[in-house]
Amino acid sequence: MLNIALFGPPGAGKGTQSEFLIKKYNLFYISTGDLLRNELANKTKLGLDAEHIIASGGLVSDEIIVQIIENTITENPNANGFLFDGFPRTNIQAYILEGLMIKLNTSLNRLISIKLDEEISVQRLLNRGITSGRSDDNETVVRTRLREYTEKTLPVLQFYKDKGVYLEVDGSQEIGKVTSDIDDIIQSELSKSLFNIVLFGSPGSGRSTQGKAIAKAFGLEYVSTGEMLKEELKNDPEVTLKYLEIIERGEFVPDEVVVQLIEKKLAKTKNAKGFLFKGFPRNLVQSYILDGLLKKHGSSVSQCIELDVPVLEVIRRIDERSHSTADVSYYTTTSKIVKRLQIYENKTIPVIEKYNQLHEVIKVNGVGTLEEVFQRLSFEIQNGIKNMR
């Protein structure tokens, strides 16, 4: 999720730059003024509370404003992020936003300040007044607005400077250059974002081989619940005795065990560009667990890919594997193979359907040489990374 606060004095061109950011990065625009007017128009409870305050000549409290913002964020879960225009306006609101971001398991990535000399601001607004006919675009009013902006904004900017998320651009440049400078900041920020892939595919589709190759090629951490569990079984005899029988039957160990392993993997992995999940999530419950785990770490699923291999080819591959020396106990008998495929059909296909609604699961032909399939996967992943940027 990309959360940006855009600041700038009157005349800095925030409106133009906001439109660019919203369109290019699919951000949800948050202007407290617009949100408040919407609440008033719809006569919501918060809107009615604010209306009573305004009618009595008072200022709408931070308590009402923050509730409106929280509702807006939670009601738009599919947004790539949020663009805050002119909020927070005070030091207190900066602390409020910080607490709200923590509550929602996210954070403000950057505060971008469009810096503009006062005299340039005044001239721009006076020129605008000539064409717009706005009565507030006269020099006295303009200078008062600039003074209020400076006095109220300086503490907020210092707050974010201290946090290390403040950056500024020169607003006196031509519009295209200001846009380019802002875009460079966003691109730099996005380069820090984790790119997380969920790789689906039935048993025998080649997920393990391709997953490891893709993870290595793109600098991702390979997360295989099966391999992590095997390692756990080696290190803990009690766990071995408890779950060996389940594994031998070709069934899956309880979610709480798998979740602990993944949580541990996410916590200890450093400097990875993202994660490639193979074998998880296997069911709908696990899909919600994965979303929660990633959100806890300030991330989310970036791309879902399904290796598409015809059933007869899958059976041929599994049969061939069952005669090899590979240590895969659930491929040793026909009944276990069939059961494994049935579990995938009944449990995992609904997960793919869920992710297809949210992320659009990309089907990749899994038939061919290892290199051919790898190239197909790489093509889709490169496009995914490009679109994320």
pLDDT at 137: 64
On whether 389 is known to bind a ligand per the annotation, the reply is no
On whether 67 is known to bind a ligand per the annotation, the reply is no
CATH class of 197-388: alpha beta
Q: What's the pLDDT band for 315 if we cut at 50, 70, 90? A: confident
On whether 133 is known to bind a ligand per the annotation, the reply is no
Q: What's the pLDDT band for 162 if we cut at 50, 70, 90? A: very high
On whether 376 is known to bind a ligand per the annotation, the reply is no
Reduce the secondary structure of 122-162 to three states and give it as a string.
HHHHHHHHHHHCCCCCCHHHHHHHHHHHHHHHHHHHHHHHH
On whether 87 is known to bind a ligand per the annotation, the reply is yes
On whether 292 is known to bind a ligand per the annotation, the reply is no
Residue range 338-382, pLDDT digits in tens: 777 887 888 888 889 988 887 789 999 999 999 999 999 999 999
On whether 198 is known to bind a ligand per the annotation, the reply is no
* Superfamily covering domain 2-190: P-loop containing nucleotide triphosphate hydrolases (3.40.50.300)
On whether 249 is known to bind a ligand per the annotation, the reply is no
Mean pLDDT of the chain: 85
pLDDT at 217: 94
Q: What's the pLDDT band for 330 if we cut at 50, 70, 90? A: low
On whether 369 is known to bind a ligand per the annotation, the reply is no
The reply to whether 2-190 and 197-388 are identical in fold is: yes
On whether 279 is known to bind a ligand per the annotation, the reply is yes
pLDDT at 264: 85
Classify the C-alpha dihedral 159-161-167-171 as positive or negative. Answer: positive
On whether 187 is known to bind a ligand per the annotation, the reply is no
Instruction: State phi, psi for 250 to the nearest 5 degrees.
Output: 80, 20
Residue range 252-292, pLDDT digits in tens: 677 888 888 888 888 888 778 899 999 889 888 888 899 88
On whether 86 is known to bind a ligand per the annotation, the reply is yes
Residue range 218-253, pLDDT digits in tens: 999 999 987 887 777 777 666 655 666 666 665 667
On whether 128 is known to bind a ligand per the annotation, the reply is yes
Residue range 17-44, pLDDT digits in tens: 999 999 988 899 998 888 888 989 999 9
On whether 11 is known to bind a ligand per the annotation, the reply is yes
On whether 93 is known to bind a ligand per the annotation, the reply is yes
- Domain borders along the chain are 2-190, 197-388
Q: What's the pLDDT band for 98 if we cut at 50, 70, 90? A: very high
Q: What's the pLDDT band for 186 if we cut at 50, 70, 90? A: very high
On whether 110 is known to bind a ligand per the annotation, the reply is no
